[in-house]
């Protein structure tokens, strides 16, 4: 059995992350502005208890075995039909009722010093939440530079092919978690296409150009500028097809807060990114008594495409036994 959940501290003197072994969850992240003043830029709770009680709408956690939605909670693989728990309308969302966000991960390595890191590991069993095969999952959080957080996720199926698509579900507010709406943040997303969805938020299979639509963030726009033209708000998968590359990672997004001038540049090797404006957050009491309302944060969840297991024209999320799923995210902060 895994140990009791704990909160680990990852700090290099410039930025400090608190990361819980429950769901490998970022519970706080202190980042300086241009004056060096620190703010906690992630939504969450002060203690582990609300996470354990399921009160978080995926604040800060790693979701899996498959992030996002699977249509009707069903898929076929190698001639077998698999049925998953239904927990989001007619769909299975973020790994089911007890996904990777709702389990204790083992802390298997901690490195101190100039480039500190923490490694979490979770052993997912055959049949867990309906998925096939045993899978060993690792998540390494590290601070490779003064104001950069890196996450390296990997997963290896032991004995059966299985879909794997992990995502980091932090809700960002660069003005500080308790500063209200993110609609005045601006964002640029290096994606010329999105995957439009049906009434149940399942992709239709189409790859739609964003040009001349409210989904076009190929140049920087205020998040709230056209959100009223998107029914319900943004909750869409962007096709990361146009960012510069460095060290094998693509530039996915640049998020800016005008009040503090804090900026987050996100780099990844994943094919997609869910851009989600916390449309369903409604009056959750978080850290320091802050009340998080609609649009209190923004999620930038790099991922395989939603429902890819049932969409042959989407990049495959199936990983064969012994092969390795890898997914890296680089969060560069500046001001």
Cβ atoms within 10 Å, residue 38: 14
Query: Would you say 170 is a known binding-site residue?
Result: yes
**Interatomic CA distance for residues 22 and 148, integer angstroms:** 23
Is 69 one of the annotated binding-site residues? yes
Does position 103 have pLDDT exceeding 70, yes or no?
A: yes
Is 262 a known ligand-binding residue? no
| pLDDT for residue 200 is more than 70 | yes
235 is in an annotated binding site: yes
State yes or no: is 301 an active-site residue: yes
Report the pLDDT value the prediction gives residue 1, as an integer from 0 to 100.
55
Distance between CA atoms of residues 310 and 110, nearest Å: 38
Structural domains of the chain, ranges and CATH numbers in brackets: 7-334 (2.70.98.10)
- Kindly list the distances between the CA atom of residue 83 and the CA atoms of 80, 132, 147, 333, in Å, as whole numbers in the listed order: 10, 10, 43, 41
Write down the H helix ranges in the chain. Answer: 49-52
pLDDT of residue 3: 77
The three state secondary structure string of 309-331 is HHCCCCCCCEECCCCCEEEEEEE
Cis peptide before 86 (omega within 30 of 0): no
Catalytic residue among 94, 128, 169, 193: 169
Q: What is the pLDDT of residues 237-253, one digit of tens each?
A: 999 999 999 999 999 99
Q: Which residues contact 278 (CB under 8 A, 6 or more apart)?
A: 43, 171, 182, 292, 294, 295, 296, 297, 298, 299
Query: How does pLDDT run across 166-198, given as a tens digit for each residue?
Result: 999 999 999 999 999 999 999 999 999 999 999
pLDDT digit string, tens, across residues 267-324: 999 999 999 999 999 999 999 999 999 999 999 999 999 999 999 999 999 999 999 9
Q: Which candidate in 94, 236, 301, 327 is catalytic?
A: 301
Q: How far, in Å, are 100, 172, 201 from residue 89 at the CA level?
A: 20, 26, 9
Query: pLDDT digits over 8-32, tens only?
Result: 999 999 999 999 999 999 999 999 9
Q: Could you confirm whether 169 is annotated as catalytic?
A: yes
């Amino acid at each position: 059995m895994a140990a009791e959940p704990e909160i680990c501290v990852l700090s290099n003197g410039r930025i400090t992350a608190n990361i819980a072994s429950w769901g490998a969850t970022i519970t706080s992240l202190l980042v300086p502005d241009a004056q060096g003043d620190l703010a906690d830029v992630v939504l969450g709770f002060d203690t582990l208890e609300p996470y354990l009680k399921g009160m978080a709408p995926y604040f800060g956690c790693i979701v899996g075995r498959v992030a996002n939605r699977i249509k009707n909670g069903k898929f076929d693989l190698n001639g077998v039909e698999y049925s998953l728990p239904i927990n989001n309308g007619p769909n299975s969302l973020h790994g089911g009722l007890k996904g990777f966000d709702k389990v204790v991960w083992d802390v298997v390595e901690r490195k101190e010093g100039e480039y500190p890191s923490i490694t979490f590991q979770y052993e997912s069993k055959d049949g867990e939440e309906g998925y096939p095969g045993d899978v060993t999952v690792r998540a390494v959080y590290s601070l490779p530079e003064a104001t950069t957080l890196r996450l390296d996720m990997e997963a290896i199926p032991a004995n059966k092919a299985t879909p794997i698509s992990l995502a980091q579900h932090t809700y960002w507010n660069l003005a500080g978690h308790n500063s209200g709406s993110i609609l005045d943040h601006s964002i640029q997303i290096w994606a010329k296409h999105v995957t439009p969805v049906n009434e149940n938020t399942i992709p239709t299979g189409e790859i739609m150009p964003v040009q001349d639509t409210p989904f076009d963030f190929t140049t920087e726009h205020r998040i709230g500028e056209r959100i009223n033209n998107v029914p319900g708000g943004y909750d869409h998968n962007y096709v990361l097809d146009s960012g510069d590359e460095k060290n094998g990672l693509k530039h996915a997004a640049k998020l800016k807060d005008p009040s503090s001038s804090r900026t987050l540049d996100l780099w990844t090797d994943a094919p997609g990114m869910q851009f989600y404006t916390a449309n369903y957050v409604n009056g959750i009491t978080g850290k320091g008594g802050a009340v998080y309302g609609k649009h209190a944060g923004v999620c930038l969840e790099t991922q395989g495409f939603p429902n890819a297991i049932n969409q042959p024209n989407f990049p495959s999320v199936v990983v064969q036994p012994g092969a390795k799923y890898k997914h890296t995210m680089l969060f560069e902060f500046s001001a």
